């Protein structure tokens, strides 16, 4: 399968999932997850219409950034260490993985220094898996209350990585729970928070995620095929 035909297939499935759930196709955006790929491979997806790429390592973004057209947007979808915040702010338009006061505080500090507003999502470990980053559902609102005093941060929504499973129906419940929290938070008045983005769904489970309300899906394998993620 070529990258082009993979993207065609995903777009079709996205449209079908939107239709099944009564959503408009423009309400969901595809992020091409390009971690471990070299720019020449990334460019094939970009030439075929990918406009947002997702990466999980700061160093990898810095290394590849100049080889990619400047109208492509970069999202950091992986864990961010506080000591890398300073390096990355110039390169990404959205950080999906904020899950602590200390990380938010560092982002605030660096953003204030360069007089910018940084858009972030809060990562939630809905299934409470030991191996994953992210807050418990109940810890999200307290973090948002801390961020109310951080004027250079704008929280745009929530992100989760669901447990890996053969049957995506197994993780529907986690997407539902995150959507419920998202809807609840939309109704809470909080400074520096505008709940608009729900980042959930990967190659295995993006159709279920769309049915449950995802507005961003992050797909790597489905576009580029299997690759070694243990880097």
Ligand X SMILES: *Cc1c(COP(=O)(O)O)cnc(C)c1O
Q: Which of residues 28-57 bind ligand X (CB under 6 A)?
A: 33, 35, 56
Residue 121 found at the interface with ligand X (CB under 6 A):
no
Residue 118 or 161 with smaller CB distance to ligand X: 161
Is position 219 an interface residue for ligand X (rule: CB under 6 A)? yes
CB-nearer residue toward ligand X: 70 or 226: 226
Given 92, 150, 161, 200, the residue binding ligand X (CB under 6 A): 161
* Contact status: 220 vs ligand X (CB under 6 A): yes
Torsion angle of alpha carbons 128, 130, 134, 140, nearest 10°?
40
Interface with ligand X, residue 160, by CB under 6 A: no
Q: Where are the beta strands (DSSP E) in 51-144?
A: 52-55, 73-76, 94-98, 118-123
Does 203 bind ligand X (CB under 6 A)? Our answer is yes
**Interatomic CA distance for residues 168 and 205, integer angstroms:** 5
Taking the least distance from each CB to ligand X, the nearer of 17 and 150 is 17
C-alpha closest to that of 157 among 103, 186, 102, 198: 198
Tokens 């095929």 locate to 225
Q: If binding is defined by CB under 6 A, does position 214 make contact with ligand X?
A: no
Distance from C-alpha of 93 to C-alpha of 33, rounded to nearest angstrom: 15
CB of 56 to ligand X, least distance (A): 5
Q: Mask: binding to ligand X, 53-92, rule CB under 6 A, as x and -?
A: ---x--------------------xx--------------
Closest CB to ligand X among residues 122, 150: 122
Nearest approach, Cβ of residue 225 and ligand X (Å) = 9
The closest of 126, 199, 125, 190 to 157, measured between CA atoms, is: 199
For residue 135, count CB atoms less than 10 angstroms from its CB and return exposed for 0-12, middle for 13-18, buried for 19 or more: buried
Distance CA 198, CA 195 (A): 8
Residues that bind ligand X (CB under 6 A): 33, 35, 56, 77-78, 161, 202-204, 218-222
């Amino acid at each position: 399968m070529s990258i082009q035909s993979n993207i065609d297939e995903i777009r079709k499935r996205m449209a079908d999932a939107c239709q099944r759930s009564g959503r408009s196709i423009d309400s969901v955006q595809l992020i091409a997850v390009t971690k471990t790929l070299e720019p020449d491979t990334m460019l094939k997806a970009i030439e075929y219409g990918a406009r947002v790429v997702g990466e999980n390592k700061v160093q990898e973004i810095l290394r590849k950034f100049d080889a990619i057209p400047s109208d492509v947007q970069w999202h950091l979808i992986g864990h961010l260490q506080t000591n890398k915040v300073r390096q990355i702010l110039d390169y990404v338009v959205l950080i999906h993985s904020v899950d602590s006061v200390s990380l938010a505080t560092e982002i605030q500090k660096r953003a204030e220094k360069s007089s910018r507003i940084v858009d972030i999502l809060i990562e939630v470990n809905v299934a409470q898996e030991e191996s994953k980053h992210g807050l418990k559902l109940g810890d999200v609102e307290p973090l948002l209350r801390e961020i109310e005093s951080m004027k250079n941060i704008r929280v745009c929504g929530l992100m989760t990585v669901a447990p890996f499973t053969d049957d995506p129906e197994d993780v529907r419940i986690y997407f539902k729970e995150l959507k419920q929290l998202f809807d609840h938070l939309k109704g809470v008045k909080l400074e520096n928070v505008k709940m608009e983005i729900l980042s959930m769904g990967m190659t295995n489970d993006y159709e279920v995620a769309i049915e449950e309300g995802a507005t961003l899906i992050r797909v790597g394998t489905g576009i580029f095929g299997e690759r070694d993620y243990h880097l």
